[in-house]
Amino acid sequence: MLNFTVGPVMSKADVLEIGGQSSPYFRTTEFSNVMLENERLMLDFLNAPADSRCIFLTTSGTGAMESCVMNLLGHDDKAIVINGGSFGQRFVELCELHDRKYTEIKCEFGRQIKAKQLEKYSGCGYTTLLVNMGETSSGTLYDMQLIADFCHREHIFLIVDAISSFIADELDMSALGAGAVITGSQKALAVHPGIALVALSPEALERVNRNDEICMYLSMKRALKNGDRGQTPFTPAVTTLLEINARLKGLKIAGGVAIEHKLIVQRSIEFRKFIRCMPKSPFEFVSESMSNAVTSLHPKNVSATSIFNTMKE
């Protein structure tokens, strides 16, 4: 069966071959070299600022979101959370759970964020902004330039959940001035689930050092210290990391993420055209600003199950 979901997605043959092997022992120079290469390639593909780092956490994407809230936000920080769906809501719940000060900007499901929603909070002492670049629940891609400009003007540290957007949508960490960018193994990286990646700017590294360490497993301090020599503090999802290495090297050989990005854009255009051209189309598009990663459809007079079964066939 073809899998059209946002993740896990189908993997290429070379990745699947790695997935079928036993995991090697990982406290070795060979594995350290793989990890150091993974870090270099990720920072390169994200166009991260000089002296940034990338850490690899063995967790789903949500673990990296939680790690960001625990390690990058202190009790003195005042955060803005953009909440336009279930992933925005997840950041809200994480701030709540970890007792971080926050204000949420609610975006209507499937709607783009507007300048005036942000401007309301201008000059109010906010220090951090959390956003899901692609709010996958509605398939919405936020206007990152608008958000980045606001953060730049207000000297606000920007944390970007690009879990579904990396590769699928245009993303340049330096151009955005983002302090942290999160992605995951099972979306457009197209390998098995199990690894979440966080790129950290020098300012993010300062925050990690400044804040108290309040957890062990998701501690960025520990991940960074071990990462210096290409290692992780605990047993990682070794095979998924080897798959990531094959995938990143494949992208590098193909000339970077641009070509893969184009393929995804092309596929989304074709799919959306197909949906629009369906006779008596049973669907409406949910989002006014669609990410290339996912096409969110609202069914008219049909059940989701019957749509799923039609698509499956």
C-alpha–C-alpha distance, residues 120 and 122, integer Å: 6
Which residues does 119 contact at the CB level (< 8 Å), separation at least 6? 150
Nearer to ligand PLP, 196 or 251 (CB): 196
C-alpha–C-alpha distance, residues 212 and 65, integer Å: 17
For residues 67-126, which are near ligand PLP according to CB under 6 A?
Answer: 87
Residue that is written with structure tokens 């699928």 in the block: 168
CA 151-169-165 angle, to 5 degrees, is 80
Site track for ligand PLP across 159-198, x = CB under 6 A? --x-xx-------------------x--x-----------
| 62 is a contact residue toward ligand PLP (CB under 6 A) | yes
| 7 is a contact residue toward ligand PLP (CB under 6 A) | yes
C-beta separation of 263 from 55 below 8 A: no
C-alpha–C-alpha distance, residues 198 and 196, integer Å: 7
# of chain residues touching ligand PLP (CB under 6 A): 13
Residue 17 CB, nearest approach to ligand PLP (Å): 24
Nearer to ligand PLP, 111 or 187 (CB): 187
Nearer to ligand PLP, 188 or 200 (CB): 188
| 147 is a contact residue toward ligand PLP (CB under 6 A) | no
SS3 135: strand
The DSSP 8-state label assigned to residue 256 in this structure reads: S
Residue 60 CB, nearest approach to ligand PLP (Å): 3
**DSSP track, 196-213:** EEEEE-HHHHHHHHHS--
Residue type, 288: E
Nearer to ligand PLP, 62 or 289 (CB): 62
Token pair for residue 247?
């995938």
- The binder of ligand PLP chosen from 31, 35, 38, 61 (CB under 6 A): 61
How many Cβ atoms from other residues are within 10 Å of residue 208's Cβ?
Answer: 20
Token pair for residue 308?
């799923």
| 11 is a contact residue toward ligand PLP (CB under 6 A) | no
Residue 54's DSSP bridge partners are 199
Residue 180's DSSP bridge partners are 159, 200
| 142 is a contact residue toward ligand PLP (CB under 6 A) | no
Site track for ligand PLP across 12-51, x = CB under 6 A? ----------------------------------------
* Residue number with the smallest Cβ distance to ligand PLP: 61
Give the footprint of ligand PLP on this chain (CB under 6 A): 7, 60-62, 87, 132, 134, 136, 161, 163-164, 184, 187
